Amino acid sequence: MAINHPSFGKLDDNQIIIFDTTLRDGEQSPGFSMNLHEKLRMAEMLAELGVDVMEAGFPIASPGDFESVRAIAETIKGPVIAGLARSSREDILRAGEALRPAERRRIHSFLSTSPLHMKYKLRMEPEAVLEAIVASVELARNFTDDVEWSAEDGTRTEPDFLCRCVEGAIRAGATTINIPDTVGYALPEDITRIFTMLRERVPGADGVIFSAHNHNDLGLAVANTIAAIRAGVRQVECTINGIGERAGNASLEEIVMAIRTRHDAVPFRNNVKTTSILRTSKLLSTITGFDVQPNKAIVGRNAFAHEAGIHQDGVLKNAATYEIMTPESVGWTKSSLVMGKHSGRAAFRDKLRGLGYTVGDNQLNDAFRRFKEIADRKKVVYDEDIVALVDDEVVRDHERIRFVSLEVQAGSKTPANAVLELEVDGELGSAEATGDGAVDATFNAIREVFPHDANLVLFSVVAVTEGTDAQARTTVRLEENGKMVDGQGADLDTIVSSARAYVHALNKLLVKRQRTEPPEVVSA
C-alpha cells in the first residue's frame, strides 16, 4: 500500500528515504565536532547529494547545537530538516523552536525501551515509559505533522513491549517509527524478525514508515540495513563515511551503492546523486581531519585501485572482471591536468563550477591567489589539488587568527629556526623561534605570537596526490581543559600546511572557549 506521508506525499512502494545523520550522530562522536560554518557547508553538500532528510543536530544539547540547527533550518532548501529531542517537554520545545524556519521540518523524539536502559539509565517503569512516549509524540505534533519516534536500544527490547510502544507512538501521531540497533548488537536475521513482527502485529503499522538506524560495533551496520529494507523498512538512517558513536553508523555510500549495484536483490530506488558521493566524503574528511582508511568501500583510495598484475590485466580487457561498479559512478575521475600558471580567474571559476563549487567573490579571490601560488611551484595541478585548496579556504572562513607567512631553516647541522607572521584580529604579529625540527620550531613561533596553554595531542600528514611535489594535508589536534579540537591545513609545503592546521585548530579552540556548555552533557 502506498503511504501518504506529511513531508513526501504519496510514496512509491519501492522508494527508500535516505535519512542522513552525519551532523548529529556523526558529529557527536569524539573528534568529529564541527563549528557552525562547517556544519552549514556540510549541510549544503548533503542537500546537493540528494538526501531526503537531514538530521541537523540535537538542539537541547548546547546553545551551539541549537544555533546550527536553526541556521540549517533557515538556509538549506530541499531536504526535510530534522532535530533530535528526548521525550521531555523542554527538549521538544527547543527542537520545535530551532526548526521553526525550515521549509519542511521533523521532530525526532526518542526514548529507551530495553529492560537494561529503562532500569539503569532511565530508572523508569515500563508503564511510565509508555506514557512518556505518547506525551512526547503528541507534543511534537503541535510543531509539525512530520514526527519520528525512536525506540532507543530497540533491538534489545522485549518484543511485546516494543509492539506496545510502537502502537502508542503511532496512535499519538508519529509518522515514522525508527528501531535503532543502538549498540550494534543485532544480526541481520534479528533485524528481519523485529521489523516483520512489528509490521504484522502493530495496529496502524501499514500507515507509517519504518526506519532502521544501525550501529557498526560488529561491522554489521550496512548488512543489517539491507536486511531491514528487505523486511519492509522504507527509511534508512546513515552517515557519510560511516562516522558516528563508537564504531560508527551504517555508511550512506555503502547502502546506496549496495542498492544500486544489487538491484536484482534489493529492487528499490532513492534520490542520492551517486556521482557526488566522493566529493561529500572528501569534504567531511577535510572538515573533520579524519581520512577514511585506504580500503574503505566506495570512497577509500584503494577502492578502485588494482595492484596485482592479473587483476590489472583483467580490468584492462574488461573492467567488469574486477569492478562491480564504475569508479565514475561514485565520483572518481581520472586525475587530470587542469590548468597552469597562465590560467585566468574566469577559467578558474569555471573549473570550480565543474568540480561542483559555487563560491562567493572573496572566497574565489583567496582560492585563486593560492591556486596561482601552487601553479607557480608545482608542474602539474590536478583536480584533487584544487578541491583540497578550496575546501581548505572553506574551513578557514571567518577566522580570528590568519596565517600570513613562514620562513624555516632546518637540516641536520643546526637547530631548526622559524620566522612566522600571523594576523590576529586584523593586527599583524610576528615571531622567531627554534625547535626540534621544522614543525616544532614553527609551532613554537605560533605560541609566541599567540600565547596559549593548549596541548598538542595529535599531528598527522597525508599527501593529497602522488609525487614529492604533492600537496600535504595536515591535521593538528589540540586539547585545553578537556576540550578537544582538530584543525586542518593544506599546502604544497608540509611545514606551511602544518602551520595552517595549527592555526585552524586554535581558531576552533577560540570558538569553543566562548561556548557556554550546558550543566549536563547531553548525547544520544
- Report phi then psi at 358, rounded to 5: -115, 110
DSSP structure class, residue 415? -
Shortest distance (Å) from residue 216 CB to Zn ion: 10
Q: Which is nearer to ligand KIV, 183 or 503 (CB)?
A: 183
Q: Which is nearer to ligand KIV, 154 or 489 (CB)?
A: 154
Vertex 251 angle, CA 221 and 91, to 5°: 85
Cell 578558474 -> residue: 348
Strands 209-214 and 472-480: unpaired
Residue 433 contacts ligand KIV per CB under 6 A: no
Q: Distance between CA atoms of 8 and 150, rounded to whole angstroms?
A: 20
Q: Distance between CA atoms of 161 and 202, rounded to whole angstroms?
A: 11
Each residue 165-204 as x (binds ligand KIV by CB under 6 A) or -, in order, gives ---------------x-x----------------------
| DSSP-H helix ranges across 202-276 | 221-230, 252-261
Shortest distance (Å) from residue 105 CB to ligand KIV: 17
Shortest distance (Å) from residue 66 CB to ligand KIV: 17
- Report phi then psi at 431, rounded to 5: -160, 160
Shortest distance (Å) from residue 236 CB to ligand KIV: 13
Residue 113 contacts ligand KIV per CB under 6 A: no
Each residue 267-306 as x (binds ligand KIV by CB under 6 A) or -, in order, gives ----------------------------------------
248 closest CA partner among 485, 54, 32: 32
Q: Which three cell numbers stand for residue 440?
A: 616544532
Residues 213-242 that bind ligand KIV (CB under 6 A): 213, 215
Which run of H or E residues covers position 56?
strand 53-57
Cβ atoms 478, 484 nearer than 8 A? yes
Cβ atoms 208, 177 nearer than 8 A? yes
Shortest distance (Å) from residue 86 CB to ligand KIV: 9
Each residue 9-38 as x (binds ligand KIV by CB under 6 A) or -, in order, gives ----------------x-------------
Which run of H or E residues covers position 366?
helix 361-377
Q: How many residues in the shown chain lie near ligand KIV by CB under 6 A?
A: 9
Q: Which is nearer to ligand KIV, 68 or 150 (CB)?
A: 150
Q: Which is nearer to ligand KIV, 152 or 167 (CB)?
A: 152
Side-chain-side CA neighbours of residue 125 (13 Å): 3
Q: Which three cell numbers stand for residue 323?
A: 569492478
Q: Which is nearer to ligand KIV, 213 or 512 (CB)?
A: 213
Q: Which of 8, 19, 66, 110 binds ligand KIV (CB under 6 A)?
A: 110
Q: Which of 16, 17, 23, 25 binds Zn ion (CB under 5 A)?
A: 25
- Residues of this chain that interact with ligand KIV (CB under 6 A) are 25, 110, 150, 152, 180, 182, 213, 215, 524
Residue ranges that bind Zn ion, judged by CB under 5 A: 25
